[in-house]
Chains A and B, each alone.
Chain A
Amino acid sequence: MYTEKVMDHFTNPRNVGEMENPDGVGEVGNAKCGDIMRIYLDIEGDIIKDVKFKTFGCGAAVATSSMVTEMVKGKTIDEAMVISNAAVAEALGGLPETKMHCSNLAADALHKAIGDYHDKQQKKE
């Protein structure tokens, strides 16, 4: 059902955790639908210096969360903004058809976290 890469990210997820005073936090999904993804960003200049995630959900939800954190670490905000859910799935070697819509939301969480960062920056100014 899942690719080896998905199982690898599910078994050994990268960057699991929380962050004290993150520069941006984004959460998508809800417990009712069975998936919640929360992403924390530490941003310096316009570079994503560190990223952490917490996810409640199926194997695909955990793996996409882990993968997206790996994809954006060290990237600029602009580079992170163009990462799509489809690109995350592709980086994992694909996801089962049924998972493409319900559990493939990690990039959305990332974009939300970047949005939160922008909001916070605006408030500072």
Chain B
Amino acid sequence: MRRVYLDHSATTPVDPEVAAIMMTYYTEKYGNPSSVHGFGRETKQALEQARNQVAELIGAASREITFTSGGTEADNLAILGTAEALRKKGKHIITSCIEHHAVLETCEYLEKNGFDLTVIPVDEEGIISVDEVRKAIRPDTILITVMHANNEVGSIQPIAEIGKLAKEHGIVFHVDAVQSLGKIPINVEEMNVDLLTVSGHKIYGPKGVGALYVRKGVRIVPLIHGGGQERKRRSGTENMPGIIGFGKACELAGQRMADDAKKQIKLRDKLMNGIVERIEYVKVNGPVGEKRLPNNVNVSIRYVEGESLLLSLDMLGIAASSGSACTSGSLDPSHVLLGMGLIHEIAHGSLRFSLGRQNTEEEIDYVLEQLPKIVERLRMMSPLYDQVIHSKQS
């Protein structure tokens, strides 16, 4: 069966070049980088090279990079680590209503444990207003945590402006950049970011590895205690194959970003416009144009439900995702779509396609050929669509 992968915001395949270099760190260069001997020195050097590769992609110094087990750990380390370090200074944290669960749940955990939390709303395009952040700042605010680009609707946030604001007020600023890394430029200096989360498996690197950028001079308390690796910020023997792979993936992302973006924007717009042209009662979720990630398409298809769409697409080999309740594992649809003001029934019918390096125009044509048939079939089953047909006839 034909297979078309359009779920790159969930995860990406590992680039063959990345996989090849990782393999040598399993079977040949297996030394522990903390060891004194040659085996250890060899991997220690490679570890520092990988750190440099990650740092370069975000405009940081390599000593500011702490490797973690992934984006979720990096988010936890940034938020819990700052809260712990600054709890005597203040207990107020600001975040947004469209953050990834790794940020939202961590902030809510702190709220349950004596911290104050302000959750900033977004506009209908899924973009945070800098003014709202300004209004939320209090004398005891210690941390602002806002994502660079949203994983569901691809909305790019005004990070540099929020960063400027945070700097003026002396507030630590954390940014989850898991979805934007390798897709749009990131520069921690220009953006005035203090802490930045990145992850390997969204950029054609391996799963199980990520990093937290920690600006020189910013103090965080570690979550994991032990042998003092990673400048005492994250103990535990380094995941060398993962780190090497992540470093290589960052290097490749830096080289390919402009070309990837150009190609994917073309496919993105073809897919998004094609869906709107071919299917009635469709709403585009998120911004259009430059405020949207190059690889994100998100639409709500009215009168049908997201999981049914996904299953039907899957039977044709097309992989996508949805913000419907059925796929979120709760009774409510996506908090991001609800946060943007969508009503439940429209959020239930949402469909996300996230493009990647290997997607072709021909694959987009295939989706555009199949999707209208799927929607037609599901709508013929839908009691909600009856009303539309009946009102059309009368």
Interface residues of A (CB under 8 A from B): 2, 7, 10-11, 13, 16, 18, 27, 31-38, 54-62, 98-99, 102-103
Contact = CB atoms under 8 A, between A and B. Distances in A.
15 contacts: A11-B315, A13-B381, A16-B380, A31-B384, A33-B331, A34-B305, A38-B383, A55-B381, A57-B305, A57-B326, A59-B311, A61-B305, A98-B329, A102-B326, A103-B326
A31 B306 CA distance: 12
B308 interface: yes
A57 B386 contact: no
Contacts of A35: 305
A13 B381 CA distance: 9
Given A27-B383, A33-B344, A34-B345, 13 more contacts: A32-B345, A34-B305, A34-B324, A34-B333, A37-B383, A38-B383, A54-B382, A56-B305, A57-B308, A58-B311, A59-B326, A60-B326, A99-B326
Nearest to B304: A56
B246 interface: no
B186 interface: no
Nearest to A96: B326
Interface of B is mostly: helix
A99 to B, nearest CB: 8
B333 to A, nearest CB: 7
Interface of A is mostly: mixed
B252 to A, nearest CB: 34
A32 B381 contact: no
Interface in B243-292: none
Given A32-B345, A33-B331, A56-B305, A102 B381 contact: no
Interface residues of B, number: 25
Interface in B33-63: none
A59 B311 CA distance: 7
B381 A31 contact: no
A67 B380 CA distance: 18
Given A31-B345, A33-B325, A55 B307 contact: no
B344 A34 contact: yes
Contacts of B25: none
B383 A55 contact: yes
B352 interface: no
Interface in B361-389: 380-386
Contacts of A58: 305-308, 311, 324, 326
A117 B336 CA distance: 43
B380 A31 contact: no
A31 B386 contact: no
Interface string B293-323: 0000000000111111001000100000000
Nearest to A53: B381
A18 B380 CA distance: 10
Interface string B324-339: 1110010101000000
10 closest residue pairs by CB, A with B: A31-B345, A58-B307, A58-B326, A54-B383, A32-B344, A56-B382, A34-B348, A38-B383, A34-B325, A59-B311
A36 B305 CA distance: 10
A35 B326 CA distance: 10
A23 to B, nearest CB: 18
A31 B308 contact: no
